[in-house]
């Protein structure tokens, strides 16, 4: 794989450069548990070098016109498409996504954000004048971006592209667990002619490289996606310099299914969406809320979905679920499955251990728990694996109460044959995104959460806005009085 040529270097000021130290980390293929590459790990001095390059490039990049920015960034999609298969192979290798999922969802998600950001930039209103006051939205400065391993291109594209579109310069630290796709993305931006220093990339871990980036006084905004615990650490590191911090964190999304919908179809769809990407999606509908008297029926339908899924080798085009990303993730999921059983949840499918016939790799059995109550750990903690918790409710108000009974608020889902009811319930759910009746995913909607799911919004014009400062120039208009 070509990207391995640059895996032990960083991209700073338009060049691939050697690290300041020799610390390295193996990239582990989660399907084999064996190394498939190696990256250099950045120290604080490497991060400082990247930030200083971004700071030096900011004045020129922020001053160019919208048309000039569009011309440069507009070269990215065609290069990305040309390297799409290589990107898909890298994502499948580094984080275990089935190759079909990588080709049909993981890689295209990045392209969708790239193209949507370009369209949003074409129409973004950076200035408006009212009552003699010019309101102008200006790039905030250097953006530090930390991205996760579960949807690597989705998250890299929906941070990097809006930041660059806004006129910011960037230092990206991708996940050290799944860095190969970020290296390819970096090569794409370099080929597109993004000016030196405007985009920089260092590999490294959170406690060293991530903290150095968040603490750096020349970084004006931090955008982080990952666990709530890590997000808190980023915010604490950023606090002394009073920089803006954007966080897209954990989730425990409720999927309310009302009996007036096509119930069996809604349960099947909900289970499939929960298990997709091996359950490693922050907005996965992991809590399925159904009427008490339909609990057994729901468990049966969801169990059939779980038992039908083909779990195995990510390189096989027929595989539907690959491994989870790492040994630590595998062990955490196993512990939570055990906790669910110990606390009295009823196991309808799956359970502990690997699926039958798989003795190597971080494979988890698609698992369904029924009769889950809100005081159970599996109802409150983000599991980030293919585990579905089915909870019973008494009526509409009870369903809303249960949906809002966790500290998270990233996403929620409502299935109802009555659009009036679906809309009414959606307005009462404390979540950043509420999807009704299986509506298609879109990059046009703002994405982000309430509560412990973070703050700020990503995607389209909403993503661009997060990287802008608002300035009021009073007396700008011809009829304004001087003060």
Residue 25 lies in a domain: yes
C-alpha span between 187 and 192 (Å, rounded): 9
Domain match, 151 and 47 both: yes
Q: What are phi and psi of 254, to 5 degrees?
A: -90, 145
**Cβ neighbour number for residue 5 with a 10 Å cutoff:** 11
Tens digit of each residue's pLDDT, the chain (483 residues): 667 888 999 999 999 999 999 999 999 999 999 999 999 999 999 999 999 999 999 999 999 999 999 999 999 999 999 999 999 999 999 999 999 999 999 999 999 999 999 999 999 999 999 889 999 999 999 999 999 999 999 999 999 999 999 999 999 999 999 999 999 999 999 999 999 999 999 999 999 999 999 999 999 999 999 999 999 999 999 999 999 999 999 999 999 999 999 999 999 999 999 999 999 999 999 999 999 999 999 999 999 999 999 999 999 999 999 999 999 999 999 999 999 999 999 999 999 999 999 999 999 999 999 999 999 999 999 999 999 999 999 999 999 999 999 999 999 999 999 999 999 999 999 999 999 999 999 999 999 999 999 999 999 999 999 999 999 999 998 554 443
Residue 481's pLDDT is: 44
Beta carbons of 187 and 7 less than 8 angstroms apart: no
Domain match, 258 and 242 both: no
- Tokens 């995104």 locate to 433
Residue 478 lies in a domain: no
C-alpha span between 286 and 272 (Å, rounded): 10
Residue 94 lies in a domain: yes
Residue 479's pLDDT is: 52
Domain match, 126 and 79 both: yes
The DSSP result for 221-237, as a single string, is EEEEES-HHHHHHHHHH
- Tokens 């966080």 locate to 247
Beta carbons of 139 and 468 less than 8 angstroms apart: yes
Residue 6 lies in a domain: yes
Q: Which domain holds residue 13?
A: 2-249+453-472
Q: How far are the Cα atoms of 182, 249, 368, 462 from residue 231, in angstroms, in the given order?
A: 20, 7, 29, 20
Residue 132 lies in a domain: yes
Residue 12 lies in a domain: yes
Domain match, 292 and 180 both: no
Residue 16's pLDDT is: 98
Domain match, 169 and 243 both: yes
Residue 22 lies in a domain: yes
The DSSP result for 434-469, as a single string, is EEETTPPP-TTS-B--EETTEES-BSHHHHHHTTEE
Domain match, 164 and 311 both: no
Residue 412 lies in a domain: yes
Beta carbons of 146 and 101 less than 8 angstroms apart: no
- Whether 338 sits among the annotated catalytic residues: the reply is no
Beta carbons of 369 and 347 less than 8 angstroms apart: yes
Domain match, 212 and 354 both: no
Domain count of the fold of the chain: 2
- Whether 248 sits among the annotated catalytic residues: the reply is yes
CATH label of the domain that carries residue 42: 3.40.605.10
Domain match, 238 and 259 both: no
Domain match, 119 and 258 both: no
Residue 482's pLDDT is: 41
Catalytic hit among 52, 282, 459, 466: 282
Beta carbons of 65 and 49 less than 8 angstroms apart: no
Q: Are strands 15-17 and 10-12 parallel, antiparallel or unpaired?
A: antiparallel
Domain match, 235 and 372 both: no
> Helix (H, G, I), strand (E, B), or coil: what is residue 61?
helix
Domain match, 18 and 88 both: yes
CATH label of the domain that carries residue 348: 3.40.309.10
Domain match, 175 and 323 both: no
Catalytic hit among 176, 248, 320, 466: 248
């Amino acid at each position: 794989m070509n990207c391995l040529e640059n895996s032990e270097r960083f991209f700073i000021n338009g060049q691939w450069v050697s690290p300041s130290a020799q610390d390295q980390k193996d990239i582990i293929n989660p399907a084999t548990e064996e190394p498939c590459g190696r990256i250099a790990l950045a120290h604080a001095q490497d991060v400082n070098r990247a930030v200083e390059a971004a700071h030096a490039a900011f004045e020129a990049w922020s001053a160019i016109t919208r048309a000039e920015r569009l011309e440069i960034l507009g070269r990215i999609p065609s290069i990305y498409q040309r390297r799409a298969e290589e990107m898909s192979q890298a994502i499948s290798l580094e984080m275990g996504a089935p190759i079909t999922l990588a080709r049909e969802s993981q890689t295209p998600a990045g392209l969708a954000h790239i193209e949507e950001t370009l369209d949003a930039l074409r129409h973004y209103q950076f200035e408006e004048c009212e009552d003699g006051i010019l309101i102008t939205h200006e790039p905030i400065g250097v953006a530090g971006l930390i991205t996760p391993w579960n949807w690597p291109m989705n998250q890299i594209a929906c941070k990097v592209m809006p930041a660059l579109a806004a006129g910011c310069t960037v230092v990206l630290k991708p996940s050290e667990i799944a860095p190969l796709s970020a290296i390819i993305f970096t090569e794409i931006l370099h080929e597109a002619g993004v000016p030196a220093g405007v985009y920089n990339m260092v590999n490294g871990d959170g406690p060293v490289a991530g903290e150095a980036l968040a603490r750096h006084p020349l970084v004006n905004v931090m955008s982080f996606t990952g666990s709530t615990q890590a997000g808190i650490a980023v915010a604490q590191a950023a606090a002394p310099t009073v920089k803006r911090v954007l966080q897209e964190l954990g989730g425990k999304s409720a999927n309310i299914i009302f009996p007036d919908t096509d119930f069996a179809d809604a349960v099947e769809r909900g289970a499939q969406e929960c298990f997709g990407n091996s359950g490693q999606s922050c907005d996965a509908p992991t809590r399925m809320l159904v009427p008490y008297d339909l609990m057994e029926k729901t468990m049966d339908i969801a169990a059939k979905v779980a038992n039908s899924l083909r779990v195995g080798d990510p390189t096989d085009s027929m595989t539907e679920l690959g491994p989870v990303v790492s040994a630590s993730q595998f062990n955490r999921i196993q512990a939570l499955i055990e906790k669910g059983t110990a606390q009295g949840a009823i196991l309808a499918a799956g359970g502990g251990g690997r699926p039958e016939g798989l003795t190597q790799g971080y494979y988890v059995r698609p698992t369904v728990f029924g009769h889950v109550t809100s005081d159970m750990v599996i109802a409150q903690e983000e599991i980030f694996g293919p585990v579905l918790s089915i909870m019973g409710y008494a009526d509409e108000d009870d369903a809303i109460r249960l949906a809002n009974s966790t500290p998270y608020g990233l996403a929620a889902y409502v299935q109802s044959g009555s659009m009036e009811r679906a809309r009414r319930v959606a307005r009462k759910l404390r979540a950043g995104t509420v999807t009704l009746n299986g509506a298609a995913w879109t990059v046009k909607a703002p994405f982000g959460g309430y509560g412990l799911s973070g703050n700020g919004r990503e995607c389209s014009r909403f993503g661009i806005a997060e990287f802008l400062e608002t300035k009021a120039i009073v007396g700008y208009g011809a009829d304004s009085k001087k003060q």
